[in-house]
């Protein structure tokens, strides 16, 4: 069974869910400028360091550079990102993990937006803690610390 090109109908939704249950992994496509693609390589390496690559590839098919606001396009299994979101590789990876968790919740039939987004944010904070515990450069470790501080100060967890 092949993962559907789009996920609009109940049939496409059920097909996507079945593919995930059977272990389907996407071959990630990154579209955008040369600079965007280079920054995404760094983010993909962070996902690999934290063992999130397979989880991410289960739910996300494509990342597209856009000029607007970064968001999950669940009907396409795609994340739209702007250059600002990928400037900081740690924060870019955190955002991508959050959106992958939202896509998982979407396919699981759970609320994945509005209040449902809170669960995905908590998962992205867990990701930051895992990354911080890995053997990484001091620069990445500092970015982790800064991101964790930003995301945990504003939330009562």
pLDDT tens-digit series, residues 31-80: 999 999 999 999 999 999 999 999 999 999 999 999 999 999 999 999 99
pLDDT at 135: 86
User: Per the domain annotation, does 38 fall within a domain?
Assistant: yes
The model carries a pTM of: 0.91
The 3-state DSSP class for residue 18 equals: helix
Bridge partners of 30, per DSSP, are: 63
Q: pLDDT of 87-141, one tens digit each?
A: 999 999 999 999 999 999 999 988 777 777 888 989 999 999 999 998 888 999 9
pLDDT at residue 84 is higher than 60: yes
Count helices and strands in the chain by DSSP H and E runs: 7, 4
Could you tell me how many residues make up the chain?
Answer: 157
Q: Is residue 3 part of a domain?
A: no
Q: Which residues constitute the domain of residue 34? A: 10-153
29 in any annotated domain: yes
Tell me whether residue 1 is in a domain: no
Contact 101, 117 (CB under 8 A): no
The answer to whether residue 68 sits within a structural domain is yes
pLDDT at position 155 is 55
- B/e letters for 63-98, b = 16+ CB within 10 Å, e = fewer, are bebbeeebbbbbebbbbbbbeebbebbbbbbbbbbb
**CA-based torsion, 90, 19, 79, 100: positive or negative:** negative
**Residues facing residue 64 across a β-bridge:** 31, 80
- What is the total count of domains within the chain? 1
Whole-number pLDDT of residue 154: 62
Q: Is residue 105 part of a domain?
A: yes
Does residue 73 belong to any structural domain of this protein? yes
Residue 80 lies in a domain: yes
> In 34-92, where do the E strands start and end?
62-65, 71-73, 78-81
């Amino acid at each position: 069974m092949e993962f559907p090109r789009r996920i609009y109908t109940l049939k496409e939704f059920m097909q996507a869910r079945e593919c995930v249950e059977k272990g389907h992994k996407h071959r990630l496509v990154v579209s955008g400028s040369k600079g965007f693609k280079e920054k995404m390589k760094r983010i993909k390496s962070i996902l690999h360091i934290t063992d999130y690559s397979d989880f991410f590839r289960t739910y996300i098919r494509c990342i597209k550079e856009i000029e607007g606001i970064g968001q999950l396009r669940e009907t396409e299994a795609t994340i739209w990102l702007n250059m600002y979101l990928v400037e900081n590789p740690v924060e870019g990876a955190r955002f991508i993990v959050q959106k992958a968790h939202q896509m998982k919740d979407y396919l699981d039939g759970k609320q994945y937006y509005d209040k449902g987004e809170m669960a995905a944010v908590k998962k992205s904070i867990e990701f930051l803690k895992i990354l911080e515990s890995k053997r990484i450069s001091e620069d990445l470790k500092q970015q982790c610390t800064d991101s964790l501080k930003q995301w945990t100060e504003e939330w009562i967890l």
